[in-house]
Amino acid sequence: MKNIAVIGAGTMGNGIAHVFAQNGYKVNLIDISKESLEKGMATITRNLDRMLAKEKIKAEDKVHTLKNITTFTELSKGVSGTDLVIEAATEQLDIKLDLFKELDAVTGPDTILATNTSSISITQIAAATEKPKKVIGMHFMNPVPIMGLVEIIRGYNTSDGTTKIIMDLSKKLGKTPTEVNDYPGFVANRILMPMINEAIETLYNGVAGVEEIDTVMKLGMAHPMGPLQLADFIGLDVCLSILNVMHNGFKNPKYAPCPLLVNMVMAKKLGIKSGEGFYDYSNSKKAEMVAAQFK
């Protein structure tokens, strides 16, 4: 595998493109918005500059990484001739189904189609294509250049060959691939999101305040970031979406999102990306300080 396409230039997409490009792969970064592509490339450049300042890479590494990335706004051109397509679009089922149906029509029979979904059924996504054996989940963690884990999720029809290729490829990126089965939330979010939801319930019930809840978890449980701060970092809309997937998938009330989370999302209080969530990020320096805890 030499040629990779990444769909979506947002937080996850530009991070995935960065990692592949830094490891010598030719990457086509695709987004319907030219502005999103420009922002994505600016983020990659900033992250490379940060790594350069910390002497984790050399100046020529930055140059080569950026040269390895080409941007596209047209899907068919962006995926042409690629060996692997990784979808990192919005965490909404309808969007992913439409996208994979289109990908099935514009990619070759040997092209592997991966999704970075953090909770949605791989089997359901694969059913939108004519080659479900070639569809797999590749759930990277945020921030992608730093975090070592990749959840590899096999759909019901994903072939052993496809799984082996993606497991081996993840190792070549310096990541630790971990194979899990296709159930709502997989492993990472099936455990993480109920904890975040319970922290929100604790706040909602008036047991303690935001900073107090996060302090207990950071100092008492050795978490690098409290669950409410982490929810802000992930995006409250993303947290709500994942909880809804698990609640609908398992029909178990323990996954029902807290009413406070639902109201905050409706009020557009989404965390760092909106400037306000459980914490106030209207000061850009404060937002950078929070994000730096994961850098």
Catalytic residues: 118, 139, 151, 189
Within 8 A by CB and 6+ apart from 170, the residues are: 138, 150, 152, 176, 177
- 107 contacts 4 by C-beta, under 8 angstroms: no
User: 268 in the Ramachandran plot: left (φ > 0), alpha (ψ -120 to 50) or beta?
Assistant: left
> Exposed/middle/buried for 113, CB within 10 Å: 0-12, 13-18, 19+?
buried
Run of H or E residues at 295:
none
- 96 contacts 137 by C-beta, under 8 angstroms: no
* Residues 164, 140: Cα–Cα separation, whole Å: 17
**CA dist 120 to 94, 100, 189, 231, Å?**
11, 13, 11, 19
Within 8 A by CB and 6+ apart from 120, the residues are: 91, 93, 96, 245
